[in-house]
Amino acid sequence: MTPTFAPDLEADRAFMRLALDQAQNAWLLGEVPVGAVIVKDGKVIATGYNRPIGDHDPTAHAEIVALRQAAHLLGNYRLPECTLYVTLEPCAMCAMALLHARFARVVFGARDPKTGAAGSVVDLFAEPRLNHHCDITPQIEQEACSALLQDFFRARRKEQKRPEGV
């Protein structure tokens, strides 16, 4: 049974702003700007941002980077008392990793209409055939999270159109 939370909207917004800071780190490295923060007992215990290009690792999504850090810190791959904040709706790979880790709650910013696995394309978190589910809080700081991604891809398209040597 998944615990039921009475979310604190101000705390959710504050932690999502920290995830947005992590997403900025990804942008600075030329990665898609997605950031994640893991919270336990009201304290940040792990952070991560997208690094698949720089790390040559297709699994180095922000959620996975933060999850690995939290698991090492706590000495356990199960994180049932933790909440993940991520700026973009988790993909199927990340959603399943979060479910396997038994996260209590996942809070995300922007929806992902192409690969979102928390309701946009599929909802793995509510899949009745799975043995674990988590509470989902969608669209916290959605405008800021969406704007960051839109700005990044707009800038990337401009760079691709720029003639060589300019």
Amino acid 165: pLDDT: 61
Whole-prediction pTM value? 0.91
Helices (H), the chain: 9-28, 52-55, 62-74, 92-100, 142-161
Residue closest to 53 by CA, chosen among 65, 61, 63, 41: 61
pLDDT in tens, the chain (166 residues): 344 555 699 999 999 999 999 999 999 999 999 999 999 999 999 999 999 999 999 999 999 999 999 999 999 999 999 999 999 999 999 999 999 999 999 999 999 999 999 999 999 999 999 999 999 999 999 999 999 999 999 999 988 876 666 5
Contact 61, 50 (CB under 8 A): yes
At 3 the pLDDT is 44
Check 10, 31, 63, 143 and give the catalytic one.
Answer: 63
What whole-number distance in Å separates Cα of residue 131 and Cα of residue 143?
Answer: 33
Contact 99, 132 (CB under 8 A): yes
Domain boundaries, the chain: 9-148
Cα–Cα dist 51/144, whole Å:
21
Alpha carbon distance 3, 36 (integer Å): 22
Asked if 126 and 133 touch (Cβ cutoff 8 Å), the reply is yes
Residue 63: active-site member = yes
What's the pLDDT at 159? 84
The tokens for 119 are: 């309701």
> Does CATH number 3.40.140.10 belong to domain 9-148?
yes
Task: State residue 61's pLDDT score.
Answer: 99
116-163 confidence digits (pLDDT tens): 999 999 999 999 999 999 999 999 999 999 999 999 999 999 888 766
Q: pLDDT value at position 11? A: 96
111, 89 in Cβ contact below 8 A? yes
